[in-house]
Amino acid sequence: MATKTAWGGRFQQELDTDSARFLESVSFDRRLAEEDIAGSLAHAEMLASIGVLTDDDLAKIRQGLGAIRSEIRAGTFTWDAAKEDVHMNIESALTAREGDVGARLHTGRSRNDQVATDMRLWARDACARVGRSLDRLALTLAARADDEIDTLLPAYTHIQRAQPNRLAHHLMAWVEMLDRDHGRLHDCAMRLNECPLGSGAVCATTFPLDRKLTATLLGFARPTRNSLDATADRDFLLELLSALAIASVHLSRIAEEMVWWSTQEFGFVEMADAHATGSSMMPQKKNPDVAEVVRGKSGRVIGDLVSLLVVLKGLPLGYNRDLQEDKVPVFDAVDTVSDATEVMADAMGALRFNRERMRAALGAGFVTATEVADWLAARGVPFRHAHEVAGRLVARAIEARCELAQLPLETFREEHALFDESIFVALDPETAIERRDLPGGPARARVVAAIADARARLEARGASLARTRHATP
Protein backbone atom coordinates (compact mmCIF):
# COMPACT_ATOMS: atom_id res chain seq x y z
CA MET A 1 0.00 0.00 0.00
CA ALA A 2 1.06 3.61 -0.48
CA THR A 3 0.29 6.96 1.09
CA LYS A 4 -0.05 10.24 -0.74
CA THR A 5 2.81 12.57 0.15
CA ALA A 6 2.57 16.32 0.58
CA TRP A 7 5.52 16.71 -1.76
CA GLY A 8 4.25 14.92 -4.86
CA GLY A 9 5.53 17.17 -7.68
CA ARG A 10 8.92 15.50 -7.95
CA PHE A 11 7.85 11.93 -7.31
CA GLN A 12 6.21 9.32 -9.56
CA GLN A 13 5.32 6.96 -6.71
CA GLU A 14 3.44 7.61 -3.53
CA LEU A 15 5.18 7.01 -0.22
CA ASP A 16 5.01 3.45 1.06
CA THR A 17 2.57 3.15 3.95
CA ASP A 18 5.13 1.66 6.33
CA SER A 19 7.64 4.35 5.38
CA ALA A 20 5.02 7.03 5.96
CA ARG A 21 4.28 5.60 9.39
CA PHE A 22 7.97 5.40 10.15
CA LEU A 23 8.67 8.98 9.04
CA GLU A 24 5.69 10.79 10.56
CA SER A 25 6.37 13.03 13.54
CA VAL A 26 2.98 14.63 14.13
CA SER A 27 2.26 12.09 16.86
CA PHE A 28 4.77 13.95 19.03
CA ASP A 29 5.60 17.27 17.38
CA ARG A 30 1.97 18.41 17.66
CA ARG A 31 3.17 19.77 21.00
CA LEU A 32 4.71 22.57 18.94
CA ALA A 33 1.34 23.74 17.60
CA GLU A 34 1.24 26.96 19.62
CA GLU A 35 4.80 27.82 18.64
CA ASP A 36 4.18 26.91 15.01
CA ILE A 37 1.14 29.17 14.80
CA ALA A 38 2.99 32.02 16.53
CA GLY A 39 5.84 31.67 14.04
CA SER A 40 3.44 31.61 11.09
CA LEU A 41 1.64 34.73 12.28
CA ALA A 42 4.93 36.60 12.64
CA HIS A 43 6.11 35.37 9.23
CA ALA A 44 2.83 36.46 7.64
CA GLU A 45 3.04 39.93 9.19
CA MET A 46 6.59 40.27 7.93
CA LEU A 47 5.61 39.11 4.41
CA ALA A 48 2.83 41.69 4.40
CA SER A 49 5.29 44.39 5.48
CA ILE A 50 7.48 43.73 2.41
CA GLY A 51 4.55 43.43 -0.01
CA VAL A 52 4.55 39.68 -0.58
CA LEU A 53 1.13 39.36 1.08
CA THR A 54 -1.72 41.86 0.88
CA ASP A 55 -3.56 43.20 3.89
CA ASP A 56 -6.47 40.97 2.89
CA ASP A 57 -4.16 37.96 2.76
CA LEU A 58 -2.84 38.79 6.22
CA ALA A 59 -6.36 39.16 7.62
CA LYS A 60 -7.37 35.76 6.23
CA ILE A 61 -4.23 34.10 7.63
CA ARG A 62 -4.85 35.61 11.06
CA GLN A 63 -8.46 34.52 10.98
CA GLY A 64 -7.69 30.99 9.80
CA LEU A 65 -4.80 30.39 12.19
CA GLY A 66 -6.84 31.80 15.05
CA ALA A 67 -9.63 29.34 14.36
CA ILE A 68 -7.18 26.45 14.05
CA ARG A 69 -5.52 27.40 17.32
CA SER A 70 -8.91 27.44 19.05
CA GLU A 71 -9.66 23.93 17.74
CA ILE A 72 -6.29 22.65 18.88
CA ARG A 73 -6.77 24.11 22.36
CA ALA A 74 -10.26 22.61 22.52
CA GLY A 75 -8.98 19.20 21.40
CA THR A 76 -11.24 19.12 18.33
CA PHE A 77 -8.57 19.54 15.66
CA THR A 78 -8.06 16.47 13.47
CA TRP A 79 -4.41 15.50 13.15
CA ASP A 80 -3.47 13.55 10.01
CA ALA A 81 -0.34 11.39 10.12
CA ALA A 82 -0.28 11.34 6.31
CA LYS A 83 0.67 15.02 6.44
CA GLU A 84 3.79 14.03 8.37
CA ASP A 85 4.18 16.80 10.91
CA VAL A 86 2.63 19.67 12.83
CA HIS A 87 3.67 22.20 10.17
CA MET A 88 1.92 20.53 7.23
CA ASN A 89 -1.14 19.70 9.30
CA ILE A 90 -1.64 23.33 10.21
CA GLU A 91 -0.75 24.68 6.77
CA SER A 92 -3.11 22.21 5.07
CA ALA A 93 -5.92 23.12 7.45
CA LEU A 94 -5.30 26.81 6.77
CA THR A 95 -5.40 26.27 3.00
CA ALA A 96 -8.60 24.26 3.31
CA ARG A 97 -10.20 27.14 5.23
CA GLU A 98 -8.82 30.19 3.43
CA GLY A 99 -7.74 28.95 -0.01
CA ASP A 100 -4.46 29.78 -1.76
CA VAL A 101 -3.47 32.33 0.83
CA GLY A 102 -2.58 29.36 3.00
CA ALA A 103 -0.21 28.11 0.33
CA ARG A 104 1.37 31.58 -0.06
CA LEU A 105 2.20 31.68 3.65
CA HIS A 106 5.20 29.42 3.06
CA THR A 107 6.88 31.93 0.76
CA GLY A 108 10.51 32.42 1.79
CA ARG A 109 10.27 29.73 4.44
CA SER A 110 11.29 26.08 4.76
CA ARG A 111 10.20 23.51 7.26
CA ASN A 112 13.88 23.52 8.25
CA ASP A 113 13.92 27.07 9.58
CA GLN A 114 10.31 26.72 10.69
CA VAL A 115 10.96 23.78 13.02
CA ALA A 116 14.19 25.33 14.28
CA THR A 117 12.20 28.42 15.24
CA ASP A 118 9.43 26.37 16.85
CA MET A 119 11.93 24.44 18.95
CA ARG A 120 13.67 27.61 20.11
CA LEU A 121 10.34 29.13 21.12
CA TRP A 122 9.34 25.95 22.95
CA ALA A 123 12.73 25.56 24.64
CA ARG A 124 12.76 29.18 25.75
CA ASP A 125 9.40 28.69 27.46
CA ALA A 126 10.53 25.36 28.91
CA CYS A 127 13.55 27.01 30.55
CA ALA A 128 11.21 29.45 32.28
CA ARG A 129 8.71 26.77 33.33
CA VAL A 130 11.28 24.39 34.78
CA GLY A 131 13.05 27.33 36.40
CA ARG A 132 9.86 28.24 38.24
CA SER A 133 9.52 24.68 39.53
CA LEU A 134 13.13 24.63 40.73
CA ASP A 135 12.59 27.95 42.47
CA ARG A 136 9.47 26.61 44.18
CA LEU A 137 11.47 23.69 45.57
CA ALA A 138 14.28 26.02 46.64
CA LEU A 139 11.82 28.36 48.38
CA THR A 140 10.24 25.36 50.13
CA LEU A 141 13.65 24.26 51.41
CA ALA A 142 14.49 27.79 52.56
CA ALA A 143 11.21 27.93 54.49
CA ARG A 144 11.97 24.58 56.15
CA ALA A 145 15.48 25.81 56.96
CA ASP A 146 14.00 28.85 58.69
CA ASP A 147 11.85 26.54 60.83
CA GLU A 148 14.79 24.27 61.69
CA ILE A 149 17.45 26.89 62.43
CA ASP A 150 18.18 25.39 65.86
CA THR A 151 17.97 21.74 64.84
CA LEU A 152 21.39 20.09 65.09
CA LEU A 153 22.62 16.90 63.46
CA PRO A 154 25.89 15.45 62.23
CA ALA A 155 27.31 16.46 58.88
CA TYR A 156 28.56 13.43 56.96
CA THR A 157 31.45 12.58 54.70
CA HIS A 158 31.75 9.07 53.25
CA ILE A 159 28.37 8.49 54.98
CA GLN A 160 30.28 8.65 58.26
CA ARG A 161 29.52 11.16 60.99
CA ALA A 162 31.97 14.00 60.51
CA GLN A 163 31.23 17.27 62.35
CA PRO A 164 28.30 18.94 64.13
CA ASN A 165 26.00 20.86 61.80
CA ARG A 166 22.71 22.71 61.59
CA LEU A 167 19.89 21.08 59.64
CA ALA A 168 19.19 24.52 58.17
CA HIS A 169 22.75 24.68 56.83
CA HIS A 170 22.26 21.28 55.22
CA LEU A 171 18.98 22.34 53.60
CA MET A 172 20.54 25.54 52.32
CA ALA A 173 23.24 23.53 50.56
CA TRP A 174 20.47 22.06 48.43
CA VAL A 175 19.09 25.56 47.80
CA GLU A 176 22.46 26.62 46.39
CA MET A 177 22.51 23.62 44.04
CA LEU A 178 19.04 24.43 42.77
CA ASP A 179 19.96 28.08 42.33
CA ARG A 180 22.78 27.08 40.00
CA ASP A 181 20.37 24.82 38.13
CA HIS A 182 18.10 27.81 37.61
CA GLY A 183 21.09 29.82 36.43
CA ARG A 184 22.04 27.23 33.83
CA LEU A 185 18.50 27.29 32.42
CA HIS A 186 18.54 31.10 32.37
CA ASP A 187 21.87 31.09 30.51
CA CYS A 188 20.52 28.53 28.06
CA ALA A 189 17.45 30.69 27.37
CA MET A 190 19.65 33.72 26.76
CA ARG A 191 21.88 31.88 24.30
CA LEU A 192 19.09 30.24 22.32
CA ASN A 193 17.15 33.49 21.98
CA GLU A 194 17.89 33.97 18.26
CA CYS A 195 15.39 33.62 15.41
CA PRO A 196 16.13 31.13 12.57
CA LEU A 197 13.23 32.27 10.36
CA GLY A 198 14.59 33.56 7.07
CA SER A 199 17.34 30.93 6.94
CA GLY A 200 15.27 28.88 4.53
CA ALA A 201 16.17 25.28 3.88
CA VAL A 202 19.92 25.85 4.04
CA CYS A 203 21.07 29.01 2.24
CA ALA A 204 18.38 31.60 3.01
CA THR A 205 16.04 32.86 0.24
CA THR A 206 15.86 35.32 -2.63
CA PHE A 207 12.94 37.18 -1.06
CA PRO A 208 13.90 40.41 0.78
CA LEU A 209 12.72 39.19 4.15
CA ASP A 210 12.87 41.52 7.14
CA ARG A 211 14.44 39.06 9.55
CA LYS A 212 14.82 41.64 12.30
CA LEU A 213 11.09 42.30 12.25
CA THR A 214 10.27 38.59 12.50
CA ALA A 215 12.71 38.18 15.38
CA THR A 216 11.19 41.16 17.20
CA LEU A 217 7.64 39.93 16.72
CA LEU A 218 8.57 36.60 18.29
CA GLY A 219 10.48 38.15 21.18
CA PHE A 220 13.90 37.01 20.02
CA ALA A 221 16.94 39.18 20.69
CA ARG A 222 18.17 38.97 17.09
CA PRO A 223 18.10 36.82 13.92
CA THR A 224 20.55 33.94 13.75
CA ARG A 225 23.81 34.87 12.03
CA ASN A 226 24.29 31.89 9.71
CA SER A 227 21.58 30.03 7.77
CA LEU A 228 23.45 26.72 7.79
CA ASP A 229 24.04 26.83 11.51
CA ALA A 230 20.49 27.98 12.23
CA THR A 231 18.84 25.02 10.53
CA ALA A 232 21.42 22.26 11.07
CA ASP A 233 22.42 22.45 14.72
CA ARG A 234 20.59 21.69 17.92
CA ASP A 235 23.26 22.60 20.44
CA PHE A 236 20.75 24.84 22.20
CA LEU A 237 18.76 21.70 22.96
CA LEU A 238 21.91 19.93 24.13
CA GLU A 239 22.50 22.80 26.51
CA LEU A 240 18.92 22.55 27.76
CA LEU A 241 19.23 18.79 28.21
CA SER A 242 22.56 19.20 29.96
CA ALA A 243 21.06 21.68 32.42
CA LEU A 244 18.12 19.34 32.99
CA ALA A 245 20.40 16.34 33.48
CA ILE A 246 22.42 18.22 36.12
CA ALA A 247 19.22 19.34 37.82
CA SER A 248 17.94 15.77 37.82
CA VAL A 249 21.18 14.62 39.47
CA HIS A 250 20.67 17.21 42.19
CA LEU A 251 17.09 16.07 42.66
CA SER A 252 18.34 12.50 42.85
CA ARG A 253 20.85 13.39 45.55
CA ILE A 254 18.17 15.11 47.64
CA ALA A 255 15.91 12.11 47.14
CA GLU A 256 18.72 9.73 48.08
CA GLU A 257 19.13 11.43 51.43
CA MET A 258 15.40 11.32 52.04
CA VAL A 259 15.47 7.58 51.39
CA TRP A 260 18.41 7.08 53.76
CA TRP A 261 17.03 9.42 56.41
CA SER A 262 13.67 7.63 56.31
CA THR A 263 15.20 4.33 57.37
CA GLN A 264 14.87 3.10 60.94
CA GLU A 265 18.67 3.08 61.06
CA PHE A 266 18.72 6.88 60.60
CA GLY A 267 15.19 7.85 61.61
CA PHE A 268 15.83 11.49 60.79
CA VAL A 269 12.66 12.08 58.75
CA GLU A 270 9.23 10.65 58.18
CA MET A 271 7.61 11.26 54.83
CA ALA A 272 3.98 12.31 54.91
CA ASP A 273 1.48 9.57 54.09
CA ALA A 274 0.60 11.49 50.92
CA HIS A 275 4.11 10.87 49.58
CA ALA A 276 4.70 7.29 50.71
CA THR A 277 3.23 3.88 49.93
CA GLY A 278 2.85 0.54 51.66
CA SER A 279 3.78 -2.99 50.76
CA SER A 280 1.54 -5.54 49.07
CA MET A 281 2.85 -8.18 51.50
CA MET A 282 4.32 -6.46 54.57
CA PRO A 283 1.68 -4.39 56.38
CA GLN A 284 4.17 -2.50 58.55
CA LYS A 285 6.01 -0.88 55.63
CA LYS A 286 6.00 2.83 54.81
CA ASN A 287 8.15 3.30 51.73
CA PRO A 288 9.44 6.72 50.56
CA ASP A 289 8.36 5.97 47.00
CA VAL A 290 8.17 9.57 45.78
CA ALA A 291 11.83 10.06 46.65
CA GLU A 292 12.78 6.71 45.15
CA VAL A 293 11.07 7.41 41.83
CA VAL A 294 12.59 10.89 41.65
CA ARG A 295 15.96 9.21 42.14
CA GLY A 296 15.16 6.64 39.48
CA LYS A 297 14.01 9.15 36.87
CA SER A 298 17.35 10.95 36.89
CA GLY A 299 18.77 8.12 34.79
CA ARG A 300 16.05 8.70 32.23
CA VAL A 301 16.93 12.39 31.88
CA ILE A 302 20.62 11.59 31.56
CA GLY A 303 19.64 9.12 28.83
CA ASP A 304 17.72 11.87 27.00
CA LEU A 305 20.90 13.96 26.87
CA VAL A 306 22.97 11.05 25.63
CA SER A 307 20.33 10.23 23.01
CA LEU A 308 20.54 13.65 21.37
CA LEU A 309 24.33 13.79 21.65
CA VAL A 310 24.50 10.55 19.67
CA VAL A 311 22.02 11.81 17.07
CA LEU A 312 24.07 14.94 16.45
CA LYS A 313 27.60 13.59 16.61
CA GLY A 314 27.74 12.22 13.06
CA LEU A 315 25.66 14.76 11.17
CA PRO A 316 27.18 16.83 8.36
CA LEU A 317 25.84 20.30 7.50
CA GLY A 318 23.06 21.23 6.68
CA TYR A 319 19.69 19.86 7.78
CA ASN A 320 19.27 16.08 8.04
CA ARG A 321 16.05 14.25 8.87
CA ASP A 322 17.82 12.71 11.87
CA LEU A 323 17.09 16.01 13.60
CA GLN A 324 13.47 14.94 13.82
CA GLU A 325 14.69 12.83 16.75
CA ASP A 326 15.47 15.90 18.84
CA LYS A 327 11.94 16.34 20.09
CA VAL A 328 11.09 13.20 22.05
CA PRO A 329 14.12 13.37 24.41
CA VAL A 330 13.67 17.11 24.96
CA PHE A 331 9.95 16.83 25.64
CA ASP A 332 10.56 13.88 27.95
CA ALA A 333 13.35 15.55 29.92
CA VAL A 334 11.37 18.75 30.45
CA ASP A 335 8.28 16.83 31.57
CA THR A 336 10.27 14.55 33.85
CA VAL A 337 12.26 17.25 35.61
CA SER A 338 9.19 19.48 35.95
CA ASP A 339 7.13 16.70 37.51
CA ALA A 340 9.96 15.48 39.75
CA THR A 341 10.66 18.98 41.03
CA GLU A 342 7.01 19.64 41.81
CA VAL A 343 6.49 16.41 43.74
CA MET A 344 9.74 16.93 45.64
CA ALA A 345 8.60 20.41 46.64
CA ASP A 346 5.34 18.90 47.91
CA ALA A 347 7.16 16.13 49.76
CA MET A 348 9.80 18.39 51.33
CA GLY A 349 7.12 20.79 52.49
CA ALA A 350 5.14 18.04 54.21
CA LEU A 351 7.71 15.69 55.74
CA ARG A 352 8.50 15.67 59.47
CA PHE A 353 12.05 16.07 60.77
CA ASN A 354 12.87 14.03 63.88
CA ARG A 355 14.82 16.68 65.80
CA GLU A 356 15.47 14.48 68.81
CA ARG A 357 16.91 11.66 66.70
CA MET A 358 19.14 14.09 64.82
CA ARG A 359 20.45 15.66 68.02
CA ALA A 360 21.03 12.23 69.57
CA ALA A 361 23.19 11.27 66.58
CA LEU A 362 25.69 13.89 67.71
CA GLY A 363 26.32 11.80 70.80
CA ALA A 364 28.26 9.11 68.98
CA GLY A 365 30.91 8.96 66.32
CA PHE A 366 33.40 11.49 67.80
CA VAL A 367 31.98 14.34 65.73
CA THR A 368 33.90 16.93 67.77
CA ALA A 369 37.31 15.35 67.25
CA THR A 370 38.34 18.20 64.97
CA GLU A 371 37.68 20.58 67.89
CA VAL A 372 40.46 18.87 69.83
CA ALA A 373 42.96 19.46 67.05
CA ASP A 374 41.75 23.04 66.53
CA TRP A 375 41.96 23.73 70.28
CA LEU A 376 45.63 22.74 70.32
CA ALA A 377 46.41 24.49 67.03
CA ALA A 378 44.95 27.72 68.41
CA ARG A 379 47.51 27.46 71.24
CA GLY A 380 50.50 27.12 68.95
CA VAL A 381 50.69 23.38 68.34
CA PRO A 382 51.27 22.64 64.62
CA PHE A 383 48.00 21.33 63.23
CA ARG A 384 49.49 18.06 61.97
CA HIS A 385 50.81 17.33 65.48
CA ALA A 386 47.50 18.40 67.00
CA HIS A 387 45.66 16.11 64.56
CA GLU A 388 47.77 13.18 65.72
CA VAL A 389 47.03 13.95 69.37
CA ALA A 390 43.31 14.09 68.63
CA GLY A 391 43.54 10.75 66.82
CA ARG A 392 45.18 9.13 69.83
CA LEU A 393 42.44 10.48 72.07
CA VAL A 394 39.81 9.00 69.75
CA ALA A 395 41.59 5.65 69.98
CA ARG A 396 41.54 5.85 73.78
CA ALA A 397 37.83 6.75 73.75
CA ILE A 398 37.12 3.76 71.54
CA GLU A 399 39.04 1.57 73.95
CA ALA A 400 37.10 3.04 76.88
CA ARG A 401 33.82 2.74 74.98
CA CYS A 402 32.91 6.36 75.52
CA GLU A 403 32.84 9.69 73.70
CA LEU A 404 35.65 12.25 73.83
CA ALA A 405 33.81 14.51 76.25
CA GLN A 406 33.48 11.56 78.65
CA LEU A 407 37.24 11.07 78.94
CA PRO A 408 38.73 12.54 82.11
CA LEU A 409 40.94 15.61 81.87
CA GLU A 410 43.85 13.48 83.08
CA THR A 411 43.62 11.39 79.89
CA PHE A 412 43.74 14.53 77.76
CA ARG A 413 46.81 15.76 79.64
CA GLU A 414 48.54 12.43 79.17
CA GLU A 415 48.37 13.09 75.45
CA HIS A 416 49.35 16.79 75.67
CA ALA A 417 50.25 18.98 78.61
CA LEU A 418 48.42 22.05 77.27
CA PHE A 419 44.92 20.66 77.86
CA ASP A 420 42.79 22.27 80.56
CA GLU A 421 39.10 22.30 81.53
CA SER A 422 38.18 24.58 78.60
CA ILE A 423 38.59 21.65 76.20
CA PHE A 424 35.22 20.34 77.40
CA VAL A 425 33.52 23.58 76.39
CA ALA A 426 35.03 23.19 72.91
CA LEU A 427 33.64 19.64 72.72
CA ASP A 428 30.04 20.82 73.04
CA PRO A 429 28.44 20.36 69.56
CA GLU A 430 26.63 23.71 69.59
CA THR A 431 29.80 25.52 70.61
CA ALA A 432 31.65 23.75 67.81
CA ILE A 433 29.07 24.94 65.28
CA GLU A 434 29.05 28.53 66.54
CA ARG A 435 32.85 28.75 66.34
CA ARG A 436 32.55 28.21 62.57
CA ASP A 437 31.43 31.78 62.11
CA LEU A 438 32.62 32.34 58.55
CA PRO A 439 30.81 33.25 55.33
CA GLY A 440 29.26 29.99 54.14
CA GLY A 441 29.64 28.41 57.56
CA PRO A 442 27.02 26.85 59.89
CA ALA A 443 27.07 29.42 62.70
CA ARG A 444 23.53 30.51 63.47
CA ALA A 445 23.88 34.12 62.34
CA ARG A 446 25.50 33.02 59.08
CA VAL A 447 22.73 30.57 58.29
CA VAL A 448 20.01 33.08 59.16
CA ALA A 449 21.65 35.54 56.76
CA ALA A 450 21.98 32.87 54.08
CA ILE A 451 18.27 32.03 54.32
CA ALA A 452 17.32 35.70 54.04
CA ASP A 453 19.63 36.21 51.07
CA ALA A 454 18.29 33.15 49.25
CA ARG A 455 14.68 34.14 49.88
CA ALA A 456 15.36 37.64 48.56
CA ARG A 457 16.92 36.24 45.39
CA LEU A 458 14.08 33.80 44.83
CA GLU A 459 11.30 36.27 45.52
CA ALA A 460 12.96 38.89 43.29
CA ARG A 461 12.49 36.58 40.35
CA GLY A 462 8.91 35.72 41.27
CA ALA A 463 9.34 32.42 43.11
CA SER A 464 6.22 31.17 44.84
CA LEU A 465 5.25 28.26 47.07
CA ALA A 466 2.11 27.77 44.99
CA ARG A 467 2.26 24.63 42.91
CA THR A 468 2.92 25.06 39.19
CA ARG A 469 0.80 22.70 37.10
CA HIS A 470 2.40 21.12 34.06
CA ALA A 471 -0.12 19.62 31.66
CA THR A 472 1.54 17.22 29.25
CA PRO A 473 -0.33 17.11 25.92
| Catalytically active residues, by annotation | 158, 279
**In angstroms, what is the C-alpha Rg of the chain?**
30
Angle at 383 between CA 382 and CA 386, to 5 degrees: 90
Residue 439, judged by CB atoms within 10 A of its CB (0-12, 13-18, 19+), counts as: exposed
The residues pairing with 390 across neighbouring beta strands, listed in sequence order, are none
Cβ pair 255, 294 in contact under 8 A: yes
In 3D space, the residue among 464, 452, 453, 448 whose CA is nearest the CA of residue 168 turns out to be 448
Give the distance, in angstroms, between the CA of residue 249 and the centroid of all CA atoms in the same chain: 9
Burial string for 120-159 (b: 16+ CB within 10 Å, else e) reads bbbbbebbebbbbbbbbbbbbbbbbbbebeebbbbbbeee
* 15-16 and 160-166 beta bridge pairing: unpaired
